[in-house]
Amino acid sequence: MGMTMTQKILAAHAGLESVKPGQLIEAKLDLVLGNDITAPVAIREFNRLGAPTVFDKSKVAIVPDHFAPNKDIKSAENCKILREFSKAHEIVNYFEVGRMGIEHCLIPEQGLAVPGDAIIGADSHTCTYGALGAFSTGVGSTDMACAMAEGSIWFKVPSAAKFVLKGKPGPWIGGKDVILHIIGIVGVDGALYESMEFAGEGLSFLSMDDRFTIANMAIEAGGKNGIFPVDGATVSYVREHSKREYKIYEADEDAEYEAYYEIDLSRLRPTVAFPHLPENTRAIDEIQDVSIDQVVIGSCTNGRITDLRIAAEILRGRKVNPNLRVIILPGTQEIYLQALAEGLAEDFVRAGAVLSTPTCGPCLGGYMGILAKGERALSTTNRNFVGRMGHPESEVYLCGPAVAAASAITGKITDPGKLPAKS
């Protein structure tokens, strides 16, 4: 029996010729990641282990991004724990305010994830780096603690589901529409503990930013990880951002998959997930008169430069509806600088939006966009559970940046292809 991409990477990192689904292995790691919510717990457990220091000072990354810049005393104390730990153990990849970013935008940008890597992070959306042909998955804080000490972790080898993408997406269709469509088909547990492996000629029409978005939300279908084959776009991205050596793994022709799905990208329409699950999806043509109070464009899912360019293209020369507020969060400082250099920042401000420092803030109901009782947000973030962005009686609708920007103008969920022409 052949192996999938994920199984090959795990076998290599376990020092084995082959692995099979369900097998327990101990795999060496190329990166261990934590943030200002999960890493303080991991650091406490690491200290209890009595390890003298981390296994490799260059293979641990700590990014305060959820409540940073500090929103209150508790978040300040948590970030202080990270700062002091990183200094004491000479952590190379500690990203403080001013050079920080949203972790899953920052790690690829900094060249810390490359094809063939095995990566864990104490954050469920660590599966983002599968866009680069790496195995990456979220773990708990205790796992992070042990991994920081040992440089390895136990895995149960996942089975896999194959998603073959064909066709060319139409206008305003991006990675968010693709993954929401898929989650709408399989459900939030349809790929439970499976590797979601993407293939097909349709990949050639998806940018790296699209792929990061899709891999990021594999966890929202229950997936252990999401992973893309390495092609020319991947290699170009890696060469631009990293000096590390990498290894390309390809699935065997006789690899076995638990499920097979074929997605025709040419038939997709802009897609929105209604409350209170990412699987509750509807095509834009099925939606009528859903008014909104807030729009958020950003997060580890859609805070990259192409997302901001799409939003700016729609908002440029128009005004945000006076009945709502719009918050835009670049994923990293570099993306922020790009937005400034390209004039996108001015487009946003002149339209009536707020341009924030990189932070996860509103995505998890942390700060910078909390919802009051009865309010609705349309957001490019990745989760819309009850109370996700604030009051338990508020609502979150998920979409891509094009729908978000178009809706910011009209005040209700809107097809970007049906906006009136600019005056």
Give the pLDDT confidence score for residue 360 in this predicted structure: 85
Total tally of structural domains belonging to the chain: 2
**Model confidence pLDDT, tens digit, residues 338-397:** 999 999 999 999 999 999 999 988 888 888 899 999 999 999 999 999 999 899 999 999
CB of 300 within 8 A of CB of 104?
A: yes
Give the pLDDT confidence score for residue 364 in this predicted structure: 86
Same domain, 250 and 304: no
Q: Residue for token digits 């009782």?
A: 373
Give the pLDDT confidence score for residue 107 in this predicted structure: 97
Is 354 within the bounds of a domain?
Answer: yes
Give the pLDDT confidence score for residue 159 in this predicted structure: 95
Kind of pairing, strands 93-94 and 24-28? Answer: unpaired
Please tell me the distance from the alpha carbon of residue 125 to that of residue 339, in angstroms, as a whole number: 24
Query: Which one of 263, 298, 322 terminates a domain?
Result: 263
Give the pLDDT confidence score for residue 33 in this predicted structure: 97
pTM for the model stands at 0.94
- The domain spanning residue 203 has which CATH number? 3.30.499.10
Same domain, 169 and 285: no
Which residues lie across from 152 on neighbouring strands?
28
Is 423 within the bounds of a domain?
Answer: no
Q: Residue for token digits 């084995």?
A: 16
Query: 117 to each of 29, 68, 232, 247, how far by Cα in Å?
Result: 8, 28, 18, 8
Same domain, 63 and 146: yes
CB of 243 within 8 A of CB of 147?
A: no
Give the pLDDT confidence score for residue 283 in this predicted structure: 96
Same domain, 195 and 282: no
Which letter, b or e, does each residue of 379-390 get, where b requires 16 or more Cβ atoms within 10 Å of its Cβ?
Answer: bbbbbbeeebbb
Same domain, 181 and 151: yes
Q: Please, what is the Cα angle at 231 between 193 and 247, to 5 degrees?
A: 70
Q: Say if residue 69 is preceded by a cis peptide, omega within 30 of 0.
A: yes
- Residue ranges in the chain modelled with pLDDT below 50: none
Q: What is the CA radius of gyration of the chain?
A: 21
Give the pLDDT confidence score for residue 99 in this predicted structure: 87
Is 141 within the bounds of a domain?
Answer: yes
Please tell me the distance from the alpha carbon of residue 291 to that of residue 13, in angstroms, as a whole number: 50
Query: Which one of 245, 263, 281 terminates a domain?
Result: 263
> Range of 47's domain?
5-263
Q: Which of 275, 254, 281 is nearest to 178 (CA)?
A: 281
Is 345 within the bounds of a domain?
Answer: yes
**Helix (H/G/I), strand (E/B), else coil: 66:** coil
Same domain, 298 and 247: no
